[in-house]
Copies of this chain bind each other. A is one copy, B any other.
Amino acid sequence: MLTIKRLSIDEAHHLITGARLKAEEIGVPMCIAVVDESGNLIAFERMNGGKVTSITIAQDKAFTAGAARKATHEYNKACVPGNLAFGIHTAIGGRLCVVGGGLPVTIDGEVVGGIGLSSGTPDQDMVCAQAGIDYLQQQMG
């Protein structure tokens, strides 16, 4: 039997809160998604003004990061023509997202979920995703 560690809804809310605070600080309304270690959505928030296209993209970034246990910007680096990983961006009907802004959430060395942001530039999305993780870690002491 396996025992799986998984983000709780309260921890998911901490991730979203941290990401939202950073998004407000940089002045970019975002879509923010948090999934569990199986890639399934736990919580989602579209800030007032977040883009409609980002509803799906934020979720797909979180899905990719949580379920594949790899940041979407790392996939991006590998996903260049001529590289054997190229083409991964069309996998799973395009749900495997290689645009920067999705990060796995790792606690005690284990990936327990993923966070994905969308509506800013990939760099802005990545900064806010990381802020979510930092905030969660502060809350967990």
Question: How far, in Å, is A70 (CB) from chain B's closest CB?
Answer: 9
User: For residue A28, which residues in chain B have a CB less than 8 angstroms away from its CB?
Assistant: none
A90 pairs with B94, CB closer than 8 A: yes
Q: How large is the interface on A (under 10, 10 to 19, 20 to 34, 35 or more residues)?
A: 35 or more
Q: How many identical subunits does the complex contain? A: 4
Chain B residue, CB-CB nearest to A123: B84
CA distance A69 to B9 in the complex (A): 20
Given contacts A84-B122, A87-B97, A92-B94, contact A67 B48 (CB under 8 A): no
Chain A interfacial positions (CB closer than 8 Å to B) = 1-9, 11, 36, 38-48, 51-57, 60, 63-64, 67-69, 73, 75-76, 79-82, 84-94, 96-100, 107, 112, 121-123, 126
